[in-house]
Structure 1
């Protein structure tokens, strides 16, 4: 038994968990590091098998083979978020039978490095594959990308969010709603289950959290984000190019059809084009001043609005329009539009069109001939999104076209 004593002395000095088992696979000794790693002492371990302690029967088969062949074997195991390579050797016990001794080497960092490398390569392959597809929008790319992660990397059930919108989900809605409130890579709990929210620029990917997932996500995301950013920039540039040519085509078409159709039909056609071109636009109206009254002559999304007319002083935004005109603006966005509409003499009329919504944002353009305002155009958004500089510029160009058109018609 002296050799067991020396073996125990050697094992006790190791910075790794180590153990000795008898020929029945029962622990007869564990070192200090083993107790620390598993949080168990001699009373709960000695005389018991892994099957009894951990409900694990895999080690029994491996140890049986070691005792029969008298040759060492190695296997890998995971416990509480750590990954070990276990080396098991046969040892002769005092009664002449053979048991086993084992050392468990912590290879968590190596495991993570290998996993990060493999995942990074898989994600690169996924992105290369998707680049061969017709990626007509950023939403479409991110949705495809998330689904490929689900299929090929086995991320499990997930949710894909954009702002306060759920693009796709396999998770409960309450998980998505809580994830919307998180910034950065965060781990959070819902109904006792953990989840991780992963920001991908204006999107968020939400997955269930398992041991080491949060640590792994923090390693892999900085490697992945630049690749995703390159694709999103490419899609955005292609989208801008298409929008540029589409806008140019519509403007040329407006100029070409200038005198071919009567004024109201022309304005309706141009308004429809503008709402289609400007990405933030959802609805719109064009108003002309006739007989000292604003009259709606074209609408998109406002049924029966063409029946409306009222004196200039009763406009939806009142003095706010005059202030912007006096500052020299021909195109401007109205802030806090809801408050202005609610104090308008025509508040009830505008309320039925949804203009009391907190998210209502109008972009206005003013037609001015010889220093006199002759009408206006309103491009409206009900999603709380500010109009981009590009959208403002597009409306400015159309205001110039329409102003010249109206001047030519001597409005």
Structure 2
């Protein structure tokens, strides 16, 4: 009988859930690991079926087949975020009837590895497919990429964010607003539902969280990010190349038209080109000092601004501009422009133009002839975005062109 004792100890200490059921599919024995895995003891299990305990009748047909054919069968199941491969064999019971015995092997890690590999391959296929398209911007690529994940990976409802902007969403706005506050891969709750925010460089993808999703996302994202980064860099390089040629074309056009049109028309044309070229730009103005007053001679986005004028000692951006000029800067960005604009004699007018907005960002260029300031150009955005070094260099080139142009005219 000692061998029976050893056998009982072996199954009781087996590191995998194991069970025996009678010919009515009722449990008659479960081992220690089974109890630990399912959080149930003998009193709640023995004498009951899976249908009674778990409301699951799927195993019944498999067990019937095992008892009838006297051959083992295998199937897969999921419970509480774990994935098991279950081997069921026929076993002769003491009354001569056949029941089943089963061992459940935890294959969660293998399941995840297979799922990650399959998902990684699918995402690679999606990216290869998108690279055949005309990807004219990073936003366009990310929007297409997210929609393909929705269609082919079945990520469910999602939201795509960029900074504080919602590019696309199938989720409630309050979910998007909370996701904007998160950094890194994070799981969070809104109204009792769980969501996951996934950073994709300057973008964020937000999806609903299901069992194991957060763990899966943490595995797959590091594999996918380098591929996305390569595409974004390629798009950025193509964009820079196009912008370079476009800028060069506009500059050549400005030089060619230099003496063909009168000064105000020329300045309006160049300002329009600059606002179009610089990606952060939304609006702009050019000011010249005439009769000892700053006068607006060209505008983009500021209706009726060409009627404005004020003394140069009371500039719209206050002493800050004078400080930058004294330091030798010809192009500079103004921090905290809102508070400086409020000191201008045209404060009420500028308020109507939206310059009291916290997100107001001006990039200024100064025209100096013979050490004397003769005017300025302001390229503005209202998105709170700082101007890139590339944009500053473009404005510096235009300031040089316009300064040389103004030297030929009596201001």
TM class by shorter chain equals: over 0.9
Q: How many Å apart are 1:8 and its aligned residue?
A: 4.2
Q: How many Å apart are 1:146 and its aligned residue?
A: 0.7
Q: Deviations over 1:70-109 (max 9, x none)?
A: 1000000000010000000011111111110000000011
Q: How many Å apart are 1:318 and its aligned residue?
A: 1.7
SS of the residue 1:128 aligns to: helix
Q: Deviations over 1:124-153 (max 9, x none)?
A: 111111100001011111111111111111
Q: Partners of 2:102 and 2:67 in 1: how far apart?
A: 12
Task: Report the equivalent of 1:174.
Answer: 174
Q: How many Å apart are 1:6 and its aligned residue?
A: 7.1
Q: Is the 8 A contact 1:254 1:270 kept in 2?
A: yes
Unpaired runs of at least 5, structure 1: none
Q: Is the 8 A contact 1:314 1:346 kept in 2?
A: no
Q: Deviations over 1:355-390 (max 9, x none)?
A: 100010111111111111111100001111111110
Q: Deviations over 1:195-226 (max 9, x none)?
A: 11111111111111111111111111111111
Q: Deviations over 1:142-172 (max 9, x none)?
A: 1111111111111111111111111111111
Q: Deviations over 1:19-69 (max 9, x none)?
A: 000111111110000000000011111111111111111100100111111
Q: Is the 8 A contact 1:316 1:341 kept in 2?
A: yes
TM-score (norm: length of structure 2): 0.98
Q: Partners of 1:168 and 1:45 in 2: how far apart?
A: 49
Q: How many Å apart are 1:354 and its aligned residue?
A: 0.5
SS of the residue 1:395 aligns to: helix
Task: Report the equivalent of 1:205.
Answer: 205
Q: How many Å apart are 1:186 and its aligned residue?
A: 0.8
Q: Is the 8 A contact 1:8 1:31 kept in 2?
A: no
Per the alignment, do residues 172 and 301 of structure 1 end up closer, same or farther by CA in structure 2, a change over 3 Å counting? Answer: same
Q: How many Å apart are 1:191 and its aligned residue?
A: 1.1
What are the within-5 Å matches in structure 2 for residues 24-39 of structure 1? 24-39=24-39
Q: How many Å apart are 1:2 and its aligned residue?
A: 11
Per the alignment, do residues 71 and 2 of structure 1 end up closer, same or farther by CA in structure 2, a change over 3 Å counting? Answer: farther
Q: Partners of 1:10 and 1:293 in 2: how far apart?
A: 97
SS of the residue 1:183 aligns to: coil
Q: Partners of 2:119 and 2:8 in 1: how far apart?
A: 40
Q: How many Å apart are 1:4 and its aligned residue?
A: 8.6
Q: How many Å apart are 1:342 and its aligned residue?
A: 1.2
Q: Partners of 2:410 and 2:288 in 1: how far apart?
A: 12
2:5 maps to 1:5: yes
Q: How many Å apart are 1:345 and its aligned residue?
A: 2.3
Deviates further, 339-348 or 50-59: 339-348
Q: How many Å apart are 1:401 and its aligned residue?
A: 0.5
Q: How many Å apart are 1:184 and its aligned residue?
A: 0.6
Q: How many Å apart are 1:407 and its aligned residue?
A: 0.7
Q: How many Å apart are 1:117 and its aligned residue?
A: 0.7
Aligned-residue CA RMSD (Å): 1.4
Task: Report the equivalent of 2:46.
Answer: 46
Q: Partners of 2:40 and 2:5 in 1: how far apart?
A: 22
Q: Partners of 1:188 and 1:50 in 2: how far apart?
A: 34
TM-score (norm: length of structure 1): 0.98
SS of the residue 1:276 aligns to: helix
Deviates further, 266-275 or 338-347: 338-347
Q: Partners of 1:13 and 1:280 in 2: how far apart?
A: 67
Task: Report the equivalent of 1:344.
Answer: 344
Q: Deviations over 1:286-305 (max 9, x none)?
A: 01111111111100000000
Q: How many Å apart are 1:343 and its aligned residue?
A: 2.0
Q: Partners of 1:152 and 1:229 in 2: how far apart?
A: 21
Q: Is the 8 A contact 1:275 1:284 kept in 2?
A: yes
Q: How many Å apart are 1:118 and its aligned residue?
A: 0.7
